[in-house]
Structure 1
């Protein structure tokens, strides 16, 4: 299979990919680890206790602890303490435990003795040292979600094989190891191999289906070093050719060309996973926002992820912007120019509008005309840069009126520093402290 692909029409690209050494940020699928204990069913006291516990016991930030508390909640420390103590007794370091709980918080409400200890003992019986066990579990915490027995053993062996630098052991399940070897040879990074392994559909299993799916994804031009390659392999592996064509036909009936559909698929492979009803609902909801059919198609071509947003979420986004002083026509302009604005929470939008319009005194019209600004990080871009501007204005170095918002926020970091920091001689160290520390002197 590998030689077939390697010598196919994409052989040059594949050779290039095999030699690449890139840093890939692996996004865990949060829904795979969602807790059965919804925060909606837990008292505020329990939620507050969970946040405090996560901050004090694991050293997590309050923001991260609050996010985790929406996935799992508890009202006393007895069970969580027993889980943490058990992990510590098995050689897990504090940083590893924090990583495990951040990824798989439900572990804190499992019974340490009847559920967790037998799993750890089973994994140690595979011949792993305590340090190896801790390393593997901290890399892929979902292994502890598996039931004790054959399932957890096979899962553990496969994860350990992926982490090995050398050849994979022939004694392991043949197809799984063969497929992992093929993907590794194509240049798929280790962390993405993990994501394939923990998938519910496990597209690294089987032979013929895997070969067909991989060949198709490679021929579509997906880069094996990127996350989209893994996403595309998931979709193609799970769906028959007939089902895929039916999904394509759904988009065509809504006005997209077949080329449009495959361009959308290249941007976001999961676009083919949604039902005709859901896709139509998104189209109709965008029309309710004031967009005509041609504009709706343009938005979905630019950001197909809008499809997964519910009707309620999209309409709530409209109301959020209206509440911030944006007219319906202005919102229509914003969504046409920057469809991603649908994805942001009301809290995030309010925070950015309040800071940029009320505190920095930039006109609301600037955000309407350049809506990409609301996609920038407050902590990493907006606040540090604005603090530099406020420091310069307080010293009378750039006048008493803000420079255009585009010249402050749209440019690259090096351009911003050259424009507003490096030209100020003796003040450069102080301005850099302000820029990197997020504080105004």
Structure 2
């Protein structure tokens, strides 16, 4: 697939995975006339100062949840409300609702540190001068708020045209000049293949090199299409990132590691389709992960089976894998065989999912309400919160017992009444 030697050695096995036939060349031909202006992003502000003030402002002025506000404060921070207030006032004056503004700031927090008078205002005015009605302006900025972080009228104009065209589902051809030529051309090709707007716009405003080039982008796209990735999914973009950022020799070396583990070539490609990150990590990381699982007592065949079922497990750190496996095997007395059958357990949060649920199970076992052995891993970890509570908590007639189990499950963070209301939604 990647080098002549690699292709010659595996071509027969690989053919069966070529299950998506798309004329990529034709899609490129439609957009060869594109040529666009260069762009540059705003420089990052130091988000370490004024975090407490930022969180308080986001909660009080925008109504954001504290946890979300804390997350945003790690990306951008400020110590006074003058500029953020000016930004919010300006957006409201253009017809944005508080709900829309909250979504915009959540998506692009740096908007709050733009100069409302010198930067943000002129950019909004320019978009209006391009013919955007009030409703179109609100739709475009709400969809891709980072357009207001772009510098230069030519750049903003190109972004506006592409976004508006995509939202309107029309085809068009423009002829301008600049460094955005390949980026817009490549995004247009991805749009023709069916890549969703959300993913298109994410690539549009990003600085990743994936959509900047021409020949390498086209080569990466062809490979991912031939592998059978669905262009309407996020995995399609993830796979392109992996292929685009890897040399042929590097991918071949990783393939060899998986083959030595006992996986067939077709199995590896199928695994890659499930989780592109399984080929995105380094050869050393793959080898270290194998050593980690073998060191925990799993056989090579068992680990190969786990990787096929849940490829993401090879990406996790050794520390995390050991910690969760110890919990499964020593605290819950699940066998290694049970873990092999449920490798997705390594993907669940120890704090938010594994520990609360397992503590409920241990409490029920201690009261003799469950048999001496814990239920299967899948019936404890894989089901939804609602199903778990209905199966192990709400079914009891003893209200005091239910209340106690809910306290264990929630850590006393949520009342029983609130939890019941949540389950009824």
Give your verdict on TM over 0.5.
Answer: yes
Alignment CA distance shift 1:110-1:180 (3 Å): closer
Q: State yes or no: 1:304 paired with 2:311.
A: yes
Among residues 381, 384, 388, which one is paired with 1:382 in the alignment?
388
Q: State yes or no: 1:98 paired with 2:102.
A: yes
Q: State yes or no: 1:292 paired with 2:285.
A: no
Superimposed CA distance per residue, residues 143-166 of structure 1 (whole angstroms, 9 cap, x where no aligned partner): 344444554443343223222222
Among residues 163, 167, 173, which one is paired with 1:159 in the alignment?
163
Q: State yes or no: 1:438 paired with 2:423.
A: yes
Output the TM-score relative to the length of structure 2. Answer: 0.70
After TM superposition, list the pairs within 5 Å mapping 1:352-367 onto structure 2.
Answer: 352-358=357-363, 363=370
Query: Structure 2 regions of 5+ residues with no counterpart?
Result: 1-17, 24-41, 403-417
Query: Structure 1 regions of 5+ residues with no counterpart?
Result: 1-8, 15-32, 402-432
| Residue pair 2:183, 2:204 contacting (<8 A) in 1 also | no
1:370 matched residue in structure 2: 377
Superimposed CA distance per residue, residues 223-247 of structure 1 (whole angstroms, 9 cap, x where no aligned partner): 2222222322333334343443233
Partners of 1:106 and 1:356 in 2: CA distance: 45
Q: State yes or no: 1:128 paired with 2:132.
A: yes
Partners of 1:75 and 1:364 in 2: CA distance: 57
- Deviation at 1:267? 0.8
Superimposed CA distance per residue, residues 249-289 of structure 1 (whole angstroms, 9 cap, x where no aligned partner): 34334544322321211111232221112222222222343
1:251 matched residue in structure 2: 258
After TM superposition, list the pairs within 5 Å mapping 1:277-356 onto structure 2.
Answer: 277-318=284-325, 325-327=331-333, 330=334, 332-348=336-352, 349-356=354-361
Alignment CA distance shift 1:311-1:133 (3 Å): farther
Which is further off, 242-251 or 380-389?
380-389
Q: State yes or no: 1:137 paired with 2:122.
A: no
Superimposed CA distance per residue, residues 63-84 of structure 1 (whole angstroms, 9 cap, x where no aligned partner): 5445445555555544433332
Q: Secondary structure at the match of 2:395?
A: helix
1:426 matched residue in structure 2: none
Partners of 1:42 and 1:363 in 2: CA distance: 52
- Deviation at 1:304? 1.9
Output the TM-score relative to the length of structure 1. Answer: 0.68
Alignment CA distance shift 1:385-1:342 (3 Å): same
| Residue pair 1:140, 1:194 contacting (<8 A) in 2 also | yes
2:90 matched residue in structure 1: 86
Q: State yes or no: 1:57 paired with 2:75.
A: no
- Deviation at 1:222? 1.7
1:414 matched residue in structure 2: none
Q: Secondary structure at the match of 1:183?
A: helix
- Deviation at 1:211? 3.6
Superimposed CA distance per residue, residues 312-363 of structure 1 (whole angstroms, 9 cap, x where no aligned partner): 333343465578x335xx3634532222222233321222233454379764
Alignment CA distance shift 1:237-1:149 (3 Å): farther
Q: CA RMSD in A?
A: 4.1
- Deviation at 1:368? 5.9
- Deviation at 1:372? 5.5
| Residue pair 1:175, 1:205 contacting (<8 A) in 2 also | yes
Aligned residues: 368
| Residue pair 1:142, 1:198 contacting (<8 A) in 2 also | yes
Alignment CA distance shift 1:126-1:78 (3 Å): same
Superimposed CA distance per residue, residues 31-90 of structure 1 (whole angstroms, 9 cap, x where no aligned partner): xx9x8756xx568xx44x544443333233445445445555555544433332232233
| Residue pair 1:196, 1:230 contacting (<8 A) in 2 also | no
Alignment CA distance shift 1:57-1:356 (3 Å): farther
Among residues 194, 198, 207, which one is paired with 1:187 in the alignment?
194
| Residue pair 1:213, 1:233 contacting (<8 A) in 2 also | yes
Q: Secondary structure at the match of 2:278?
A: helix
